[in-house]
Structure 1
Amino acid sequence: MKGISNLTFILFIFLSITSTAQDANYANLLQNIDSREKTSLNGKWDMIVDPLENGFYNHRLQEYDKGYFRNAKMQSPSDLIEYDFDTSLQLDVPGDWNTQMDKLYYYEGTVWYKKDFDYTPTSNELTYLYFEAVNYEAIVYLNGEKIGKHVGGYTPFQFDVTDKLVDGNNFVVVKVDNKRKKENVPTVNQDWWNYGGITRSVHLISVPKTHISDYYVQLEKGETGKIKGWVAVENATNGDEVSIKIPELKKTIKTKLNDGKASFLINAKPSLWSPTSPKLYEVVIKTKTDEVVDNIGFRTVTTDGSKILVNGKETFLKGISIHEEAAFKTGRVISVEECKVLLNWAKELGCNFLRLAHYPHSEAMVKEAEKMGFLIWSEIPVYWTIQFENEDTYANAENQLTEMISRDKNRASVVLWSMANETPESEPRLSFISNLAEKARSLDNSRLITAALDTQGKGDDGNLIEDPLGKVVDVIGINNYCGWYYGDVDSCSSIKWASAYNKPMIMSEIGGGALYGKHGDKNERWTEEYQDALFKSNIEMMENIEFMAGLSPWILMDFRSSRRPLRRIQDDFNRKGLISEQGMKKKAFYTLQEYYLDMDKK
């Protein structure tokens, strides 16, 4: 095999972990920050655009010890300081810079952010500086000292800053760099906007010195009458007690810590979370110094041949794909209200399933979707032609996977972890994604593994699913654009499908573009009539696929993409949405809605 071996991966990851002590702490990321005492650092941040990275390197391209991170001030009239955060422009955090300033619309590079804040220390507490997401590389400084960095644009990270904060005024500086690179995840080529900035919220989170850092509370695999899990406590002593209480079930269990972790098993028969009854239970985890409260649902998800079973019952996934892009204003989703706009449209469409593409969406999006009863496909941005033989690229992808699972492992709504989207077949790719799948199962074996494969018109009489990655995943995703990237619209309904695997298949993408309000003949591309005819023909095709267990057409709403420059039609938007970016529903929205409503009547 030309791909990287398991042994090589293990050795490389071990060396990476031991040699990057200043990088963000992946292993002990605080769970459920909504249950914590938080101080928001959101709002206006001072900013400096730095395309040449003069604030980071000297003229010899060496890291500069007097860079912008020092936030230096003139002490005398003769001082030479060529920057000043206090007189600079400002950006809103959370938010992307592309839609806040016209001159940064296409900008990819470094922007420095600075925020002043007051802090009063509390004895016997630790304080973490917590970022929900920064795109893409963040180097973080506190009071002029580098405290670490993080790579990856869609997952949270934190730093223990207890000993670096001072009583009174403090300042944090973040060097944010969203330049695309071939070795990154995603790579240089992507079909969504590369929004730069501190795109999600920033917090100071205070916890007791001995605190609950992480936990896992779910049904025991294969059981509906046993709740199993573990609790991790930082700075604990062996033998310390942990209690897990589920008041509504009248269950409390106490267990002991060993090497900072305590396992438990509760005999209970909870009402199961489902799309039609998204039941959540209050779970209270407590030690002698700390308490965390979460709302957790319990459900099972398995497969039986080509069927997906939720709580043992065959469930067809009536879905839609969603990008984390806000309606009306466009740009990154930054609030719960903006999440709800998208989720309510999906509910109106008749969905019970969401593919959150092509990266981990915000914790708020996942939690709100869970409350509304949506099953979720969550994925990392291993997208198109990643550098599958690059060890650094793999380590990056695995870190993002680990962070995604760490944050969302207690959310009953998440039923699918996706490893990749539309990757070309090769031995290195198979090895790369197989290792990711193995890692995901080691972190969480209660969910299904999937990936969206690229199958486009492979046979004269139909499409055969035989990608070797089909052996690795539990559920096969298929992206297929009949009527748009191949074939004419009328040909789609007659396409036959076959699979080399006795596994469920989700049609993870079908669709085509239309400009809202543009009308014409059904054979005229970009019209609503063309998109509608395409959906009708593809629906006829899918009705004849016996092993199809769900679908998530592309996509709920038009979204920005620099790959889409066609003026007067695309205008930097991918127009495959069923709804325009201004919230106007296209004809195909109602066609898919009718298809889903008809399913409910059967």
Structure 2
Amino acid sequence: MVIDEIPAANLPLEDEGAVARRKQVCLRMIEELIARDKNYASVVMWSIANEPTLPDLIARLTGQEASPVPEYATAFLRDLVQHARALDPTRPVTLTGMMGAPLEWQEFTDVICVNRYWGWYEQGGRLEEAFATFDQELDLLYERFQKPILVTEFGADAVVGLHGQPSLMWSEEYQAELIRGYLEVARRKDFVIGMHVWNFADFQSTQSVRRVGGMNLKGVFTRDRRPKLAAHVLREFWHRPEGPAEPVPRAEEAPLPATPASSVPASAGQGAPRLYGQDASRPYLRALLEDVARRLDGRRPGLTATLRFDFGPAGIYRFVIVDGAVTLVEGDGEAVAWVRMKADTALKIFQGKLNPMVAVVTGQ
């Protein structure tokens, strides 16, 4: 089965003029692609872009840029999807999203395709944490879109012949363990319709601190097609009879990094609501924030700033910091930085049940 994609990879949607010029090129490429391949039964889907990005993507993820996603960028991708759909209404149309890309770009696709590298570019060396993060993110993506999900890239680099026990990054064991864990997580989810390991074989890339010898070593085979341990893991999966997935720690069970308010007074913990509602959440949220304020108080002498936490109907709170002294204040007001999330999301983060990074990249 083939996902047929135009050569529009890593497009930086940086300004309206450049995007308008690229749009004409991409529209023509879609027309040529579909005209050439539409009669091949092996082609199951069209893809109009791979990992489109914004130049200020990191600033948006870290809260330094809070403006809406430029409409010209969203319209560019939406128009390409609609054009492909009009040329061939018999096949689904998608685009491949990178980690942290605007989720609204996936709203108009038929299948949610994502490239994910938890355990490699993020959370490297912490596989159980990475599997839990991947588990959480898949659930939240499906909760938002209610569409089938296809993981179009996942994997890790491995230097052939490098071994480690316990597994270490860049070893064959680490790559094999990461691939196995991702596949086991995905097997538990009916809405995940496929997983595509990146990559089949090692290939020449560019010189970089991420590229040993200028090679991308994510192949499960070497450049001369010798199998690594990961190839045997895949063979095992392909020959495994269908049945229940092997147990892998679920998101709520696997260890997550400690969050700022993971240690709260016993009295606060005993009052934690089991079913989240805005009214039930308010006193517990306040207790959590009071604990954070106590632990931050006096830690940064000379710091004067105000931070705002907006939990919607559950209330707005601010940390007013004057020369390092922290006071929790209820109510809106000026702030140099802010975070907005639902109360139940905040509780899950504070209780260590939701990775904050997953909350960010899934728009929580």
- Deviation of 1:471 after TM superposition, in Å, equals 2.0
Could you state the TM-score of these two structures normalised by the residue count of structure 2?
A: 0.56
Residue of structure 1 in register with 2:227 after alignment: 585
Change (3 A) 1:485 1:565: closer
Change (3 A) 1:554 1:522: farther
In the alignment, is the contact (CA less than 8 A) between 1:519 and 1:529 conserved in 2? Answer: yes
Q: 2:43 aligns with which of 403, 414, 422?
A: 414
Matched, 1:478 2:114: yes
Residue of structure 2 in register with 1:491 after alignment: 129
Residue of structure 2 in register with 1:348 after alignment: none
Give a deviation string over 1:197-230, Cα, whole Å, max 9, x none: xxxxxxxxxxxxxxxxxxxxxxxxxxxxxxxxxx
Residue of structure 1 in register with 2:197 after alignment: 553
Residue of structure 1 in register with 2:345 after alignment: none
- Deviation of 1:541 after TM superposition, in Å, equals 2.3
Matched, 1:467 2:103: yes
In the alignment, is the contact (CA less than 8 A) between 1:482 and 1:538 conserved in 2? Answer: no
- Counterpart CA distance in 1 for 2:12 and 2:28 is 15
Matched, 1:392 2:21: yes
In the alignment, is the contact (CA less than 8 A) between 2:164 and 2:171 conserved in 1? Answer: yes
Structure showing greater Rg:
1
Matched, 1:403 2:32: yes
More strand by share: 1
Change (3 A) 1:535 1:428: same
- Deviation of 1:383 after TM superposition, in Å, equals 2.0
- Counterpart CA distance in 1 for 2:105 and 2:83 is 15
- Deviation of 1:468 after TM superposition, in Å, equals 1.3
- Deviation of 1:506 after TM superposition, in Å, equals 0.3
- Counterpart CA distance in 1 for 2:207 and 2:46 is 27
- Counterpart CA distance in 2 for 1:589 and 1:402 is 37
Residue of structure 2 in register with 1:575 after alignment: 217
- Counterpart CA distance in 2 for 1:481 and 1:522 is 20
Give a deviation string over 1:427-486, Cα, whole Å, max 9, x none: 332211111111111211111101111236x9xxxxxxx811222111110111111011
In the alignment, is the contact (CA less than 8 A) between 1:509 and 1:552 conserved in 2? Answer: yes
Residue of structure 1 in register with 2:171 after alignment: 527
Alignment of 1:330-345 (within 5 A): none
SS state of the match for residue 571, structure 1?
A: helix
- Counterpart CA distance in 1 for 2:99 and 2:186 is 14
Change (3 A) 1:408 1:599: farther
Alignment of 1:58-457 (within 5 A): 375-387=1-13, 389=16, 390=18, 391-424=20-53, 426=69, 427-455=71-99
Q: 1:597 aligns with which of 239, 242, 257?
A: 239
In the alignment, is the contact (CA less than 8 A) between 1:564 and 1:573 conserved in 2? Answer: no
SS state of the match for residue 539, structure 1?
A: helix
- Counterpart CA distance in 1 for 2:200 and 2:225 is 10
The AA in structure 1 aligned to 2:89 is N
The runs of 5 or more residues in structure 2 that have no matched partner are 55-68, 245-364
- Deviation of 1:523 after TM superposition, in Å, equals 3.6
- Deviation of 1:601 after TM superposition, in Å, equals 6.6
- Deviation of 1:564 after TM superposition, in Å, equals 4.3
Change (3 A) 1:584 1:446: same
Give a deviation string over 1:39-77, Cα, whole Å, max 9, x none: xxxxxxxxxxxxxxxxxxxxxxxxxxxxxxxxxxxxxxx
Give a deviation string over 1:393-425, Cα, whole Å, max 9, x none: 111111221111111011011011001122236
Give a deviation string over 1:559-579, Cα, whole Å, max 9, x none: 11115466xx72121100111
Give a deviation string over 1:520-541, Cα, whole Å, max 9, x none: 2344221101111111222232
The AA in structure 2 aligned to 1:403 is E
Residue of structure 1 in register with 2:157 after alignment: 513
> Percent same amino acid at aligned positions?
29
In the alignment, is the contact (CA less than 8 A) between 1:477 and 1:507 conserved in 2? Answer: yes
SS state of the match for residue 598, structure 1?
A: coil
- Deviation of 1:592 after TM superposition, in Å, equals 2.0
RMSD: 2.2
- Counterpart CA distance in 1 for 2:31 and 2:209 is 35
SS state of the match for residue 41, structure 2?
A: coil
- Deviation of 1:555 after TM superposition, in Å, equals 0.9
SS state of the match for residue 239, structure 2?
A: helix
The runs of 5 or more residues in structure 1 that have no matched partner are 1-374, 459-465
Could you state the TM-score of these two structures normalised by the residue count of structure 1?
A: 0.34
In the alignment, is the contact (CA less than 8 A) between 1:492 and 1:537 conserved in 2? Answer: no
In the alignment, is the contact (CA less than 8 A) between 2:94 and 2:110 conserved in 1? Answer: yes
Residue of structure 1 in register with 2:265 after alignment: none
Give a deviation string over 1:340-378, Cα, whole Å, max 9, x none: xxxxxxxxxxxxxxxxxxxxxxxxxxxxxxxxxxx1111
- Counterpart CA distance in 1 for 2:72 and 2:193 is 29
In the alignment, is the contact (CA less than 8 A) between 2:12 and 2:53 conserved in 1? Answer: no
Give a deviation string over 1:541-597, Cα, whole Å, max 9, x none: 22233311111111111111115466xx72121100111111111111111222232
SS state of the match for residue 95, structure 2?
A: strand
In the alignment, is the contact (CA less than 8 A) between 2:179 and 2:230 conserved in 1? Answer: yes
Change (3 A) 1:576 1:540: same
In the alignment, is the contact (CA less than 8 A) between 1:492 and 1:538 conserved in 2? Answer: no
